[in-house]
Amino acid sequence: MIMILVLPILFFYNAFNGNPLSKWIAASTLDKYLQDTYPNQEFNADKGFYNFKIGGYSFEVNKIGAEDQHNYEFEVTGFFRPTVSYDEIYYANLDEPLIEKWEKEVAVEIQDIFQDIKGVVRTNVQIEVLKGSYDPETDWNKDLQLEKPMYIDVLMDAKQLSKRELVEEMKKMQSHLKSAGYTYDMVNINANLFDEDSKDDQGYVKYASSFTEGQKISLRDIEEYNQ
């Protein structure tokens, strides 16, 4: 009887506060990550705390010997296979001007590749490249080495598409990207209904979906929202 009462309490306590063992494992995971990712630097990490919002542990880290003792945030998530899911040092070292330049160039290129896709309104792309990897004036081409495969976001006009038609257009997108030799992490699709009297150019989501390079796309991949 006591165990029946105690177990739920322990479960909820762990959900909001973590426990000493998982905290130690998270700290060890972070330490190994820092050694492997930044082998020529030394760091101080605080004791960290359990962040129930992410279901893991948050730490603050600074570089030993650095003039600017800035604290960088790190997050470790995952119970059975904990991993560093957020590295502020990495994001601080992204080449934002070059990323912005390339994202605009890629979006134009992909928009052209999708010119025969029914209902496409706008294409956005997210890419990541570190400072110093390329000259700031380098123009985009798909053979450049990115830190991670690109993420493509496509906004479509749902008034032009039935659910089945959307599936077929997504298959065409997938085929076009393959033929053009693109490597990507995911293509996210929002097919929206637009109010002509509204200034909000995002509209209202009617269909939402996504696909990866090798995915077999079907009706089951489409989520429909009723307005």
Give the domain CATH number at 121.
Answer: 3.30.300
Domain that holds residue 67: 2-92
Task: Check whether residue 131 and residue 204 sit in a common domain.
Answer: yes
Q: Please choose, from the candidates 180, 182, 207, the residue with its C-alpha nearest in 3D space to the C-alpha of residue 193.
A: 207
Amino acid making up residue 176 = H
List of the chain residues with pLDDT < 70? 1-18, 197-201, 227
Q: Give the pair of three-digit tokens for residue 119.
A: 């209902």
Task: Check whether residue 194 and residue 120 sit in a common domain.
Answer: yes
**210: Cβ contacts below 8 Å, ≥ 6 apart:** 186, 187, 188, 189, 221
Task: Check whether residue 78 and residue 183 sit in a common domain.
Answer: no
Task: Check whether residue 87 and residue 112 sit in a common domain.
Answer: no
**What region, left, alpha or beta, does residue 78 occupy, with left being phi > 0 and alpha being psi -120 to 50 degrees?**
left
Residue that is written with structure tokens 């906004």 in the block:
155
Determine the number of helices (DSSP H) and then strands (DSSP E) in the chain. Answer: 5, 10
Task: Check whether residue 149 and residue 191 sit in a common domain.
Answer: yes
Task: Check whether residue 124 and residue 181 sit in a common domain.
Answer: yes
Task: Check whether residue 41 and residue 104 sit in a common domain.
Answer: no
Angle between helices 96-113 and 163-179 (to 10 degrees): 110
Does this model's pTM top 0.85? My answer is: no
Question: Which of 43, 62, 92 is at the close of a domain?
Answer: 92
Q: Please choose, from the candidates 155, 171, 79, 70, the residue with its C-alpha nearest in 3D space to the C-alpha of residue 120.
A: 155
Task: Check whether residue 74 and residue 136 sit in a common domain.
Answer: no
Task: Check whether residue 58 and residue 102 sit in a common domain.
Answer: no
Question: Which of 73, 92, 111 is at the close of a domain?
Answer: 92
Q: Please choose, from the candidates 159, 95, 161, the residue with its C-alpha nearest in 3D space to the C-alpha of residue 130.
A: 95
Task: Check whether residue 197 and residue 86 sit in a common domain.
Answer: no
Q: Beta strand 150-157 with 184-193: parallel, antiparallel or unpaired?
A: parallel
Question: Which of 92, 116, 143 is at the close of a domain?
Answer: 92
Task: Check whether residue 209 and residue 116 sit in a common domain.
Answer: yes
| φ, ψ (nearest 5 deg) of residue 124 | -120, 150
Task: Check whether residue 26 and residue 84 sit in a common domain.
Answer: yes
Q: What SS3 class is residue 132? A: coil
Total number of domains constituting the chain? 2
Residue 17 has a pLDDT of 52
